[in-house]
Structure 1
Amino acid sequence: MNDTRDRVREIVLDLLELDEAEVTEDSLFKEDHGVDSVSIIEIHAALEKEFDVIIDYDEANRMVNLSGVRDVLAQAWSDPATSPA
């Protein structure tokens, strides 16, 4: 699971063009880093592609920080309708 945590962090930092030292688990993408909604959609799409899951677009509202992104991904994995066969 640590590999997944690291990969999620890598994807997010790469798409948001942020340095690792800038982002904590709980720092808020929009408020602390100036991230816009388009970037959240890019994270959403990258996670779906990388981890072969379907993430409901309504869940994007929870992807406000790294912790939220991981929670959304974990929920997608636990839902049989959205996880890979």
Structure 2
Amino acid sequence: MSSSVEDRQEKIKQIVCEILEIDPDEVTETSLFAEDHDADSLRAIEILAALEKQLGILIDQQELVRMVNLRGINAVVDGVLAAR
């Protein structure tokens, strides 16, 4: 994995942890935001908006169903960047 991908994934993790108000050590690639970290749908929209702003991308709100953990978010962001 290139350092730019790793940097982006680390930035995504920081964004998620800040919005969910959790320690980075508490979240894994597969931990579920709603079930494991008590996130609600408003938090999911906040994450989407923060990603768009900080990464300079547009994410279709229909992708929220895939954005349930870090792995899902990374896949969505990778897809958006690949479609550019």
Q: Hey, which bits of structure 1, 4+ residues long, moved more than 2 A?
A: none
Q: Which runs of 5+ in 2 are unaligned?
A: none
- Hey, what's the Cα distance between the residues in 2 that align with 1:8 and 1:45? 12
Give 1:79's aligned residue. Answer: 83
State whether structure 2 residue 48 is matched by structure 1 residue 37: no
Structure 1-normalised TM-score? Answer: 0.90
TM-score computed with the length of structure 2 as normaliser: 0.91
Cα offset for 1:21? 1.6
Can you give the 5+ residue segments of structure 1 that lack an aligned partner in the other structure? 81-85
Shift of residue 79 of structure 1? 1.6
Distance, in Å, in 2 between the alignment partners of 1:59 and 1:39 is 14
Q: Equivalent residue for 2:67?
A: 63
Equivalent of residue 55 in structure 2, options 51, 55, 59: 51
| Structure with the larger helix share | 2
Q: Which residue of 2 aligns with 1:3?
A: 7
State the aligned residue count.
80
- Give me the CA root mean square deviation: 0.8
Tell me the amino acid that sits aligned with residue 38 of structure 2: G
The aligned residue for residue 31 of structure 2 is 27
